[in-house]
Amino acid sequence: MIRNAEVTDVPVIHAMIRELAAYEKVPHEARATEEQLREALFGDRPAVFAHIAETDDGEAVGFAVWFLSFSTWRGVHGIYLEDLYVRPGARGGGHGKALLAELARTCVERGYERLEWSVLKWNAPTIAFYEGLGAQPQEEWSVYRLTDDALRRLGKAE
């Protein structure tokens, strides 16, 4: 059901990223190209990784894109899950849980001590799914992000 992504999966990963952006009500934010994804995942020095969830007949119905994080407090790497998506018609079939289980297995095997991700506060079904697996919200932390003009302004600051 779960396998490492291959370079031939880039078009379907790209399509599912766009589906995810539409689901999250920000389709205009999904600006990554297939070429950018191919380079990030399969270039000379990939720093991003992906897994594909498939049906029994080999149809790709979900993906997880992740990268290594590092905890200065624990002194070891972890995994930051950038995106997890399962197509609507395949939800409830265990694909999301299997993707997370594969990432948890990777953490355990490699001695990583964290598997972290963000979820939109309005996404109650997904929150319930994550909490059902034992994941705990980190209420005391707020995520901040610099992009676009604000990022460029700060980048030019002296």
Residue 112: CB atoms within 10 Å: 20
Report the alpha-carbon distance of residue 52 to residue 62 in Å, rounded.
Answer: 6
Q: Identify the active-site residue in 23, 80, 130, 144.
A: 130
* Pair 41, 5: CB distance under 8 Å: yes
Q: At 144, which helix (H) or strand (E)? A: none
Would you call 144 a catalytic residue per the annotation? no
Report the alpha-carbon distance of residue 157 to residue 119 in Å, rounded.
Answer: 31
Report the alpha-carbon distance of residue 149 to residue 32 in Å, rounded.
Answer: 18
Beta bridge partners of 86: 62
Listed in sequence order, the residues at least 6 apart from 40 whose beta carbon sits closer than 8 Å to its beta carbon are: 46, 47, 48
Angle at 51 between CA 49 and CA 57, to 5 degrees: 155
Looking at the annotation, which residues are catalytic?
130
